[in-house]
Structure formats: C-alpha cells, structure tokens
C-alpha cells in the first residue's frame, strides 16, 4: 500500500538583524540538502526552492519578515525542525554591544 505524501508547514521569523543574506541562505540550503524531502519557502507572495541558494536569496527577506516553510517527503518533519532551529537561533548572528 502506498501512503500519500503529507505536506508539513511551519512559519518562522527572520530574527537576525541583517535578514536573509548569503550566510543564512547557505545555512538553510546546507541543512536542507541533508534531507530527501523537498523544501519550499514562501515570502511576500513568492514560493522558492529551499535547496537553491540563488532562489532563496531572491526573497530579500529582512529582519522581522515572516516566512512559511513547506516540506514534503518521508523526513519532512525532521527537516522542518532543523530549519526552524536555525531561524530561532538567528543563524548564530548575535549582536554585540
């Protein structure tokens, strides 16, 4: 019996002050590529491939932007958990005062 593939969704906030620039995009893509599931990331009416750094960078998501993550596949829940953790941590970019 073939099970239907379930799509998992989550929303994340871009918390690092410089937004979704090259380094955070690289972190998202590097993490996503460890999984078989597909990842789509939506922002401002656009939906891009979360495993493509070029597509991800075109979102131009600034600090405070809310993104929607959609993952589909056998390891989709684990993929979303890891990606959400990156966003929660601000990609390790801490402001020093």
What's the token pair of residue 97? Answer: 């005062």
What is the CB-side half-sphere exposure of residue 91 using CA atoms within 13 A?
A: 22
Please say whether the beta carbons of 32 and 50 come within 8 A: yes
% the chain with pLDDT above 70 = 92
Check residues 97 and 47 and name the one with the higher pLDDT: 47
Domains and CATH numbers, the chain: 7-92 (3.30.1340.10)
Does the annotation count 21 as an active-site position? yes
What pLDDT does residue 60 have? Answer: 95
The pLDDT, as a whole number, for residue 6 is: 79
Angle in degrees, CA 59, 73, 92, rounded to 5: 45
Task: Report residue 31's pLDDT band, with 50, 70 and 90 as the boundaries.
Answer: very high
Average pLDDT over residues 78-91: 96
From 21, 26, 40, 72, active-site residue:
21
Find the mean pLDDT for residues 39-49: 97
Q: Average pLDDT for residues 43-62, to the nearest whole number?
A: 97
Q: Is the pLDDT of residue 81 over 70?
A: yes
| Tens of pLDDT, residues 7-20 | 999 999 999 999 99
Determine the pLDDT at residue 3: 61
Distances (CA, A) of 97 to 5, 16, 69: 47, 15, 32
């Amino acid at each position: 019996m073939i099970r239907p593939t379930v799509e998992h969704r989550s929303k994340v906030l871009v918390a690092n002050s410089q937004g979704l620039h090259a380094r955070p995009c690289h972190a998202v893509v590097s993490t996503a590529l460890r999984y078989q599931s597909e990842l789509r990331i939506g922002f401002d009416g656009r939906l891009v491939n979360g495993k493509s750094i070029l597509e991800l960078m075109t979102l131009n998501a600034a600090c405070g932007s809310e993104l929607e993550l959609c993952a589909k596949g056998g390891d989709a829940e684990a993929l979303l958990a890891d990606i959400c953790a990156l966003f929660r941590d601000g990609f390790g970019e801490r402001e020093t005062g």
